[in-house]
Structure formats: C-alpha cells, structure tokens
Amino acid sequence: METITLKQGESHLISLHGLASAGYQWILQSIDPQIAVVEEILYSREEVAVPVAGSLDQRFKLTAIAPGHTLVRFIQRRRFEPAEKPHASYEISVVVTG
C-alpha cells in the first residue's frame, strides 16, 4: 500500500490501469470526506483524438481538505455485476498535515 503525505489544500494525481474495453471501471469505495476528496479527471477530446488500442487509464485528483489520516480505497469492477468480487483494488494511506 502506498502512503502519501499532503499539506492541507494540496492535490495528488492518481492514475489507475484501465480495463474499460472489458467493461471494468475504477470506483471509489472508501474515504473520509472530512480529510480528503477525490474527483475523476476525464480525458479531453484532444487527448483522445488519435485512435486508442485497448483501454485508457482512469485518472483521479485527490485533494487534502483537513489535517488527519484516511484510507482511500478504489475497486475495479463492472457496474452491471455488483454482486461479483472486484477484479482489482488499490489503496492509498493519506496523511494530511496542517
């Protein structure tokens, strides 16, 4: 598990290996929203102007909100198979300083 330390207000880019061509998406499963927030960064039209073979990575922006510690957990699954075990998971331990 990766551990990162951010100052309040700082951001960190997370890039996770995509499998959208097989129907999988990375989904934020857990975070303490009082410590940090995550938002997905979508690709612009210009970024995908050339043909893409396979799947693009999914990108997320993690922003520190307040001092503390939180575990950020993503799971990769097909939304149409909610009862199935996730294909993959990714965790980051985040420490936010004042």
DSSP letters for 13-45: EEEE---GGGT-EEEEEE--TTTEEEEEEPPPT
CA 44, distance to chain mean position in Å, is: 18
**Is 84 buried (19+), middle (13-18) or exposed (0-12) by CB count in 10 A?**
exposed
Q: Round to whole Å and give the CA distance between 35 and 61.
A: 14
Lookup: tokens for 13: 């880019």
23-73 pLDDT per residue, tens: 999 999 999 999 999 999 988 877 766 666 678 899 999 999 999 999 999
pLDDT at 1 over 90: no
Residue that wins the pLDDT comparison between 56 and 89 = 89
Structural domains of the chain in order of their starting residue, each with its CATH number: 2-44+52-97 (2.60.40.2020)
